[in-house]
Amino acid sequence: MAQNPNNRKPQKVRIVRINLSWVLYLLLLAAIGWMLFSNSGVPPQKIEWAQVQQMMRDGDVREIHFVRNDYKGNVSIKPESMSKYADLFVSGKVPSKSPQFYFFTSPQFYPEEEFAEVNATLPSDAQVKIYIDNETRMWSGILEWVLPFLLILLIYAWLFRGMTRQMGGGGSGSGGGGMNPFNVGKSTGKLADKDKVNVTFKDVAGMYGAKEEVMEIVDFLKNPGKYTALGGKIPKGALLVGPPGTGKTLLAKAVAGEANVPFFSISGSDFVEMFVGVGASRVRDLFAQAKEKAPCIVFIDEIDAVGRARGKNVGFSSNDERENTLNQLLTEMDGFGSNSGVIVLAATNRADILDKALMRAGRFDRQIHVTLPDLNERKEIFLVHTKNLKLSKDFDVEAIAKHTPGFSGADIANICNEAALGAARKGETAISNKDFADAVDRVVGGIERKKTIMSPDEKRLTAYHEAGHAVAGWLLPGCDPVLKVSIIPRGQALGLTWSLPDEKVMMSKSDLTDEMCCLVGGRIAEEIINDGVPCTGALNDFERMTKIAYAMVTYYGMSEKVGNLSYYNAQGGYDLTKPYSEKTAQLIDEEAKAIIDEVTTRTRKLLKDNWSGVVKLAEMLIEKEVIMADDIEAIFGPKAGKHGEERLKGNDGGDAGETGTSGDAAQTASSGESSFVSDSTDGGADAGKPSSGDE
């Protein structure tokens, strides 16, 4: 059967799309080319009217075009006469393109009469053709005036587009502010659709308590009717609080992945720009996009950038634009409009400085604390990050987890990467425990400075300095057990003392004083061996010891004279006045110095009573450069005190790198976290480092 030609399937119309950017680029290139080459070649030469008259009488002029409204005449020379006037041009060559010359006249010049008078003197066949008119020059005038401005506008738009793209353009939904300079008020948040969020709770190791909290949010998003049927309301938001690197952002992504909903992510600093009103506009646009995608999750990372408490330090750090942005955020989270199905997750490590209005119920209904991982959680995190690594058969994840207390998830990821790099650097085929231990030492203490040359006196002082730390830390019950002592320069330190901190939350006064004794032990051993002459190696020790002493007096109420008072400023910032009188300030200084003097006297007596052991330990350090806990135990016996020697049973006395880490006594004084034995060698090490050196 013949087909009906009218029943043929219509052909699909092909739509040709033109990229506006390329059109702008071509126009820009055309404008530049026209400006560069429109007057290319040798330009016409200016002459006077008298010279023109002589040229006409000599029979060299072919024609003259006179523009009346410009009082300008353009002179075209006969080809055979051009060589006569070559000397009038700088190049020595007469241009072939007409006109070759031009001249200007005054308003009193009457062209008809003047040209007729000259032509009357010439033969009829030699008279010059004269053209007189009023030239409008419409297009040339337009180009002369409009083109420069158009060129500047195109260049500005090109540059502005690049800047807006770098400032966070290409956002979700409407395309962000980077594609259009006029979309600067659009949200720069990145949208991950529900089918693109592939992170679940299986990918989040540890964080048992935090995951239990956020699972309820997931259940809200999956089964909202379960709660609304009883009259309950879906929470507006949850605040993830914890130290940097603990996995707050990863946990928020896991919530979106488990709930199978779209996920908007944005940083708090992206709201505030140099333009007035941009932050508030971006907040409105973000929530408008979120409502369209509801149910969904909006994640604001580092919310303290925009949510800092208002009214603090007015006149010094006030920012009306930031406060307007915060006000708009408060309105969107609990305003007249309904944001049903939109849950806001935010992350910060400074919850103490956030505005109280932001923290109230109905906005961020709950705070979820994401803490540093404990031993079991660190094991899980190590297993996650070593999943794609080629490990040796004797790899013991539990041993490495025990030697990394106080490490965050990000720190553990860095340790795993450094171990892989270190093994590759050595040409090994698999990553062993020693590689992980070396990576811990590298991250904690820095790179070994193997080429550093120490004089015998410096090496001797460093050995006694480290021996003073180790002996005080071993004999005092409140100190964590020493795992390794080294006088190999590492980072900015000439020597290092590692200890394995207890994962304790609270510290007593005796713990803090014992820790201070350990810090000052290096300086005292130096002075004893150096005839009472101190060196500069204890700078970091003194810095941390001073912080602990003042924290005991001003924060923790551990001074009888000052009493149970705390001057800790949880809000941070700079106060123009101290919350106590000058008399109290003097008393605080006296009490802090009294604590340090007592600690120094106690440590000096401790080291003198055990000086023979200090000498043996120092001489062993000079000989071996690295000693382990077993070497210290062979001299002084089991570790003293409540920490017990059972914590050292996992240490087989192997390579120096296979022992644990160290920590920050100054950090302990301010947060109550586990302490570490360490100090600085040359005054350059950071007090916040888990370990440092001496001398």
Neighbours of 522 (CB within 10 A): 33
| Closest residue by Cα to residue 464 from 620, 352, 606 | 620
CA pair distance 290, 279, nearest whole angstrom = 17
Residue 507 CB partners (closer than 8 Å, separation 6+): 668, 672, 675
Give the N- to C-terminal CA distance of the chain in Å, as an integer. 102
Distances from the Cα of 295 to the Cαs of 234, 236, 292, 645, in angstroms?
A: 11, 12, 9, 55
Neighbours of 511 (CB within 10 A): 21
Residue that is written with structure tokens 């009259």 in the block: 231
**543 an active-site residue?**
no
CA pair distance 154, 680, nearest whole angstrom = 57
Give strand pairing partners of 299.
265, 345
Q: Are strands 263-267 and 190-192 parallel, antiparallel or unpaired?
A: antiparallel
Residue 442 CB partners (closer than 8 Å, separation 6+): 418, 422
Task: Give, as one character, the DSSP assignment of residue 104.
Answer: E
Give strand pairing partners of 366.
238
Residue 560 CB partners (closer than 8 Å, separation 6+): none
Buried b or exposed e, range 32-45, using 16+ CB within 10 angstroms: eeeeeeeeeeeebb
If residue 496 lies in a helix (H) or strand (E), which one and from where to where?
Answer: strand 496-499
Q: Dump the DSSP string for 27-88.
A: HHHHHHHHHHHTT-SPPPEE--HHHHHHHHHTT-EEEEEEEGGGTEEEEEE-GGGGGGGGGG
SS3 254: helix
CA pair distance 441, 491, nearest whole angstrom = 10
* 472 in Cβ contact with 647 (< 8 Å): no
Catalytic-role residue among 466, 527, 591, 658: 466
* 629 in Cβ contact with 648 (< 8 Å): yes
CA pair distance 310, 318, nearest whole angstrom = 8
Residue 478 CB partners (closer than 8 Å, separation 6+): 508, 510, 511, 512, 513, 514, 515, 641, 642
Residue that is written with structure tokens 């609990």 in the block: 334
Neighbours of 565 (CB within 10 A): 15
SS3 182: helix
Neighbours of 627 (CB within 10 A): 25
The number of residues in the chain equals 695
Active site residues: 466
